[in-house]
Structure 1
Amino acid sequence: MSELFDITQKRVLITGASQGIGFILARGLAQHGAEIIINGTHAERAEKAASTLHEEGFTVHVALFDVANAAEVQAGINHIENTLGPIDILINNAGIQRRHPFTEFPLDDWNDIMAVNQTGVFLVSQAVARRMTERRAGKIINICSMQSELGRDTITPYAASKGAVKMLTRGMCVELARHNIQVNGIAPGYFRTPLTEPLVQDKAFSEWLCKRTPAARWGNPEELIGAAVFLSSRASDFINGHLIFVDGGMLAAV
């Protein structure tokens, strides 16, 4: 049975993996035997992340390119495939957030969010999928969000971008499943990370969150690793076009 979840020596490209959830997934998949390619745009940050994993005994590489830049994406994917080898698994994790009331939301911020969160997923997936279709094998995992289904104050463009990634996941499934490529999404709920620490320390917000979530707590980022291993492994070979909500039951509750 363990062979179903074996990802040993699988080559995994994770975008935006220098920090946060992307780095947690990189470490988690490496611990399960995968070869990791950390993507980012900040060389020092990416090299530091790779060095940390290397010191822990894992096989890791760095691929610097901007997911929202078509030319950089194509050059980056070509370099990986031609020098390191085939990308077996792609995790589209890179994303940004900006907060403003909807009526005052700056157009530049809207464009930045859409470029990274939506267009970036399209560009990287397209470049990688071209190679995967030739091999008739591959797995693509898109990091979605609770906001793929729900809205919240001041982040309407973010929700729009993550809703688009949900539908991109389903559309890609329809076109790529015939080539033995599985495309699924992981939709995290509220997780305790350095970026959310101010909300964690906000007593009123944390009390609301715990009451709103059936599990009655914040998530720990490591709790996303299981879903990533599952969707990266043979165990998910006939699962396609789905979102796994890792949210402590929040979406299920009114």
Structure 2
Amino acid sequence: MRTDLFDLSGKKAIVTGGGRNLGKGIAEGLHLAGAEVVLMDISEDISSVAAEMGKEGARVSGVQVDLLDRGQLNRAFEEAVGNLGGRVDILFNNAGIHDRRACLDLPVEAWDRVLELNLTTVYQLCQLAGRRMIAQGSGKIINTGSMLSFIGGFNATAYAASKGAIAQLTKSLSNEWAGSGIQVNAIAPGYMDTDMNSDLKKDSVRYPQVTARIPAGRWGTQQDLHGIAIFLASQASNYITGTVIPVDGGYLVR
């Protein structure tokens, strides 16, 4: 077996929202495969998280940023690339938020905030990384979608709109950049045991309903993203682009 297909040694990666939950799991996977990683996160202790992750293996560094501030976003991206020695091979756009209010209770300002972080910042970072990757002649961009990239959800208008758009953005960019040696794909995590879903897990009606629909019989963990992150960031996926891959324990096919 060609294990080198999944080797990320020497690769330079940026993971947004990399300080906890799914983003941390994604970053751990890339690091375990040998990549040097920059964690971009709003958390003020992101440097400590990075130091702990990077105790063994390739270097891990942290860049603190509020991606809702467009000036900070540009500054943080340049800082991250600088930490990586001026090169970025892998961009994993994972940072995101949810607002579970029903449509009639959701003010447009809240809609704007969800769309700004979940979609517009992804576009901006893809654009920034895409310019560098085109010049390099190679690169991997992976976006984080959701089950709501496929289905409508409930009390999730802004989130569903943003994640549906992520699927289409991924496909569109893959068409533009595949000829330049860049693969753009997305993952669609299912119901994951994260802070974002803490309220849902406390719902005595919805939680058992969701769990019963998952053929794997459990909610996902951040470790469940190690493999797919490595695969889509590695040369093993060089002829795969424009896909949205569910990581859901079989939820969608139930």
2:72 corresponds in structure 1 to 72
Query: Residues of 2 paired with 1:251 and 1:211: CA distance?
Result: 12
Q: Does 1:34 align with 2:8?
A: no
1:158 maps to 2:159: yes
Count of aligned pairs:
252
Matching residue of 1:250: 251
The answer as to whether partners of 2:61 and 2:83 remain within 8 angstroms in 1 is: no
Moved more, 148-157 or 107-116: 148-157
Contact 2:30 2:226 in 1 (8 A): yes
Partner of 1:218: 219
Mean CA deviation greater in 9-18 or 79-88: 79-88
CA separation of 1:69 and 1:177: change in aligned 2, threshold 3 A: farther
Query: Displacement of 1:41 after TM fit?
Result: 2.5
Query: Secondary structure of 1:239's partner?
Result: coil
Bigger Cα displacement from structure 2, 244-253 vs 113-122: 244-253
Are 1:16 and 2:17 counterparts?
Answer: yes
* Structure 1 position 238, deviation (Å): 0.6
Deviation at 1:228, TM superposition (A): 0.6
152-161 vs 25-34, which moves further: 25-34
Q: Deviations over 1:107-131 (max 9, x none)?
A: 1110100110000100111011101
Cα drift, residue 83 of structure 1: 4.9
Q: Using the alignment, how far apart are the partners of 1:247 and 1:239 within structure 2?
A: 20
Please tell me whether residue 137 in structure 1 is matched to residue 138 in structure 2. yes
Q: Which runs of 5+ in 1 are unaligned?
A: none
**1:67 touches 1:123 (CA, 8 Å); kept in 2?**
no
- SS at structure 1 position matched to 2:45: helix
> Secondary structure of the equivalent of 1:182?
strand
Provide the rounded CA distance (Å) in 2 between the counterparts of 1:121 and 1:22: 14
> 2:82 and 2:200 mapped to 1: Cα distance?
43
Superposed displacement of residue 67, structure 1: 2.9
Check conservation: 2:27, 2:39, Cα contact below 8 A.
yes
Secondary structure class of the residue paired with 1:168? helix
Deviation at 1:201, TM superposition (A): 4.7
What are the equivalent positions in structure 2 for 1:155-234 lying under 5 Å apart? 155-234=156-235
SS at 1:196's partner residue? helix
| Distance 1:202-1:13 versus aligned 2 partners, 3 A rule | same
Contact 1:91 1:140 in 2 (8 A): yes
In 2: Cα distance, 1:173 partner to 1:50 partner: 30
Structure 1 residues 159, 240: closer, same or farther in 2, change over 3 A?
same
Where do residues 77-96 of structure 1 align in structure 2 (5 Å cutoff)?
Answer: 77-85=77-85, 86-96=87-97
Q: Percent identity?
A: 37
Deviation at 1:91, TM superposition (A): 0.1
Structure 1: distance between partners of 2:81 and 2:55: 25
CA distance in 2, matches of 1:80, 1:68: 17
Change (3 A) 1:67 1:198: closer
